[in-house]
Amino acid sequence: MKKFAAPAAILVVVLVVFFVIFNRKSHSKKNIEVVFYNVENLFDTIEDPTVWDDEFLPDSAKDWTQERYNKKLADLAKVLTEISEDDLPEVVGVCEVENRQVVEDLFRTDSLGKGKFKIIHEDSPDARGIDVALAYNSELLSELYHEKIRYSFPFEPETTTRDILYAKLLSCGDTLHFFVNHWPSRRGGQEQSEPKRLKAASVLRTKIDSILLRDMQAKIIAMGDFNDYPNNRSMTEVMNCEPGANQRLTNLTYQFHAGGLGTYNYRGEWGMLDQFIVSDGLLYSAEGCATSDSSATIFKEDWMMYFPEEGSPSPSKTYGGPNYYGGYSDHLPIRLTLFCN
């Protein structure tokens, strides 16, 4: 029997070495990819009598069928699978989702299901029933706390809008504060609609300042479809997040706006509506999770775009009015890399 001792010992050593290498590999990821994506009206096909979802039902003018819903999920999953430089993003903020179920359906698709995502979602009072949500890889991050931040407009009390979602997550011993936003639209024109976004900015900035008051080095990421550009008053006067403003916040997507780039194309003109705003504690951190002023990107691939015979390309959208085009979304997603050491 002794002649088997050496091979057995070698086998044990090989298995131990394999386990160590595999364990290191599975925990060797140094970056956290954060994504925000306006997914353009991700509605299920079930009527909800509490919200105005009539246009996204099988018997509506849009003819929103289960087949189209499934295609939309698969298309969005493809974008979120391709956007990460490694495997899948670790944190994903989304807006224009009808409810928690559609978010769960999205992150249960074949390509995203392996990401072990957990969902943070709260119903908001938006008349159309659209919300924001946050998904995170539960093997790399854990939730410490979350809340919905609700606000209204004294000058227009009958109007409701989306809540701001605040989530505090733990990763690699670091506390990360996330805010997911979908501010009031520009419907009616900038002058008429701007006061609503100024209110949203005030609410968000106040909440961020309350965190910074307790911890000047807090690591904060505010992301979303702000329905304003980086040079609008909500950003420059209320959020005070222009690069170089020295107000503890920096808009990392300002550079794209300044360069004429954007995530949304309106009548041939690009606008940077989707943005990342980070705190100094994250931008200048010497340890734990950190980022840089060049770590934000717009994800844009030809297969996500519509190329007209005349004019410039734009994001391939699902609908244009009642017309079904079968595209991904009318917005491009944005990505932010956090470097963790």
Residues 6+ apart with CB under 8 A from 19: none
Q: What is the pLDDT of residue 202?
A: 98
For residue 144, give the H/E element and its range: strand 142-149
Helix axes 66-82, 100-107, angle to 10 degrees: 60
Closest among 280, 32, 285 to 172, alpha carbons compared? 32
Task: Give the fold, CATH level 3, of 31-340.
Answer: Deoxyribonuclease I; Chain A (3.60.10)
Q: What is the pLDDT of residue 52?
A: 87
Are 65 and 45 spatial neighbours (Cβ–Cβ below 8 Å)?
yes
Q: What is the pLDDT of residue 8?
A: 52
Reported as a single tens digit per residue, the pLDDT across 6-18 is 555 444 433 433 4
Closest among 230, 228, 239 to 191, alpha carbons compared? 228
d(C-alpha 269, C-alpha 274), whole Å: 15
Say if residue 27's pLDDT is above 80: no
The neighbouring-strand residues paired with 290 are 339
pTM: 0.91
Among 21-30, 170-179, 180-189, 201-210, the least confident range? 21-30
Reported as a single tens digit per residue, the pLDDT across 56-104 is 999 999 999 999 999 999 999 999 999 987 789 999 999 999 999 999 9
Q: Indicate the domain borders of the chain.
A: 31-340
Q: What is the pLDDT of residue 120?
A: 98
Q: What is the pLDDT of residue 236?
A: 97
Q: How far is CA 44 from the centre of its chain?
A: 20
Q: What is the pLDDT of residue 7?
A: 53
Q: What is the pLDDT of residue 22?
A: 39
Mean pLDDT of the chain: 92
Reported as a single tens digit per residue, the pLDDT across 267-316 is 999 999 999 999 999 999 989 999 999 999 999 999 999 999 988 899 99
In 198-229, which positions are buried (b, 16+ CB within 10 angstroms) versus exposed (e)?
bbbbebbbebbeebbeeeeebbbbbbbbbbbb
Reported as a single tens digit per residue, the pLDDT across 150-177 is 999 999 999 999 999 999 999 988 999 9
Say if residue 132's pLDDT is above 80: yes
d(C-alpha 164, C-alpha 37), whole Å: 15
The DSSP secondary-structure symbol of 3 reads: G
DSSP string over 228-294: S-TTSHIIIIII--STT--SSEEETTHHHHHTT--SEEETTEEE--EEEEEEHHHHT-SSSEE--TT
Say if residue 30's pLDDT is above 80: no
Q: Sign of the CA dihedral 81, 178, 315, 324?
A: positive
Q: What is the pLDDT of residue 12?
A: 40
Q: What is the pLDDT of residue 29?
A: 55
Mean pLDDT across 320-335: 97
Among 19-33, 234-248, 263-277, 323-337, the least confident range? 19-33
Are 130 and 91 spatial neighbours (Cβ–Cβ below 8 Å)?
no
